[in-house]
Chains A and B, each alone.
Chain A
Amino acid sequence: MANDIFNYCVATNTGKGFITHTDSRKFWISGQPANVWVCTDCVESRHWVARNNGVSKTKAEAQTLVTAEVDAAKTAWDDNNVEGESSAEKITRIGNKPTDITLP
Chain B
Amino acid sequence: MTDYKAIHGKTILNIASDLDSAEGEGEIWFNTTSSDYKTIVKPAGSWATGGNLNTLSSQGGSFGTQTAAVTAGGSPSLANSNVATVEKYDGSTWTEVNNINTARRTTGGMGTATAGIIAGGFATAASDTSEEYDGTNWAEGDNLNTARRTYPEFAGTQTAGIIAGGEPARSEVESYDGTSWTEITDINTGRQQATASGIQTAALLCAGAPNRAIVESWDGSSWTEVGDLNTARQQHGQAGTYTTALVFGGAIPPGVTVNTEQYDGSAWAEVANIATGRYNLCPAGTNSLALCASGYADPSPADSVATEEWNFSSTLAAGAWAAGGDLNTSRYNLTGCGLQTAALTFGGTGGTQLTESYDGSSWTEVNAMSDARTQTTSGQGTQTAALVAGENASPYLATEEWNGTSWTAGGDIADAVAFRSGAGTQTAGLVFGGGTIDPNQTPQTSTEEYNGSAWTEGGAMNTGRIYFAGGGVQTAALAFGGNATAVANNELYNGSTWTEIGDLNTARKQLAASTNGTSTAMLAMTGTVPGVTANVEEFDGVAWAEQANVSTARQGLSGAGTSAAGLAISGYNPATANAEEWTKAQNVEVITD
Name A residues whose Cβ lies closer than 8 Å to a Cβ of B.
13-21, 23-25, 29-33, 69-70, 73-74, 76-77, 80, 82, 91-99, 101
User: Which residues on A sit within 8 Å (CB–CB) of B573?
Assistant: none
Q: Which of B310-366 contact A (CB under 8 A)?
A: 311, 314
The CA of A29 and the CA of B50, in the complex, are separated in Å by 15
* Known interface pairs A16-B51, A96-B251, A99-B255; A21-B300 also in contact (CB < 8 Å): no
**Number of A-B pairs whose CB atoms are under 8 Å?**
103
B251 pairs with A23, CB closer than 8 A: no
B298 pairs with A13, CB closer than 8 A: no
Is there a chain A Cβ closer than 8 Å to B440's Cβ? no
Is there a chain A Cβ closer than 8 Å to B180's Cβ? no
User: Which residues on A sit within 8 Å (CB–CB) of B314?
Assistant: 21
The CA of A92 and the CA of B253, in the complex, are separated in Å by 11
User: Which residues on A sit within 8 Å (CB–CB) of B276?
Assistant: 13, 30-31
Is there a chain A Cβ closer than 8 Å to B307's Cβ? yes
B301 pairs with A15, CB closer than 8 A: no
Q: Which residue of B48, B49, B167, B272 has the most chain A CB atoms within 10 A of its CB atom?
A: B49
Interface string of B522-560 (1 = CB under 8 A from A): 000000000000000000000000000000000000000
The CA of A101 and the CA of B254, in the complex, are separated in Å by 12
B46 pairs with A77, CB closer than 8 A: no
The CA of A17 and the CA of B93, in the complex, are separated in Å by 12
User: Which residues on A sit within 8 Å (CB–CB) of B51?
Assistant: 15-16
Determine the residue in chain B with the shortest Cβ distance to A98.
Answer: B299
User: Which residues on A sit within 8 Å (CB–CB) of B311?
Assistant: 21
User: Which residues on A sit within 8 Å (CB–CB) of B48?
Assistant: 19-21, 23-24
Q: How far is the CB of B305 from chain A (nearest CB, A)?
A: 8
* 21 CB-based A-B contacts, threshold 8 Å: A13-B49, A13-B52, A13-B276, A15-B49, A15-B50, A15-B52, A17-B49, A18-B49, A19-B275, A24-B275, A30-B276, A92-B167, A94-B80, A95-B251, A95-B300, A97-B254, A98-B254, A98-B299, A98-B300, A98-B301, A99-B255
Determine the residue in chain B with the shortest Cβ distance to A52.
Answer: B49
The CA of A62 and the CA of B534, in the complex, are separated in Å by 55
The CA of A17 and the CA of B297, in the complex, are separated in Å by 20
User: Which residues on B sit within 8 Å (CB–CB) of A97?
Assistant: 254
The CA of A74 and the CA of B254, in the complex, are separated in Å by 12
Q: How far is the CB of A37 from chain B (nearest CB, A)?
A: 8
User: Which residues on A sit within 8 Å (CB–CB) of B80?
Assistant: 80, 82, 93-94
Q: Report, nearest first, the 7 A-B pairs whose CB atoms are least far apart.
A: A31-B276, A98-B299, A96-B254, A94-B78, A15-B52, A18-B49, A24-B46
Is there a chain A Cβ closer than 8 Å to B150's Cβ? yes
Interface string of B269-310 (1 = CB under 8 A from A): 000100111011000000000000000111111100011100
With A16-B93, A20-B48 known, 11 other A-B pairs at CB within 8 A are: A13-B276, A19-B47, A19-B275, A21-B46, A25-B46, A30-B258, A31-B276, A73-B301, A77-B301, A94-B78, A98-B301
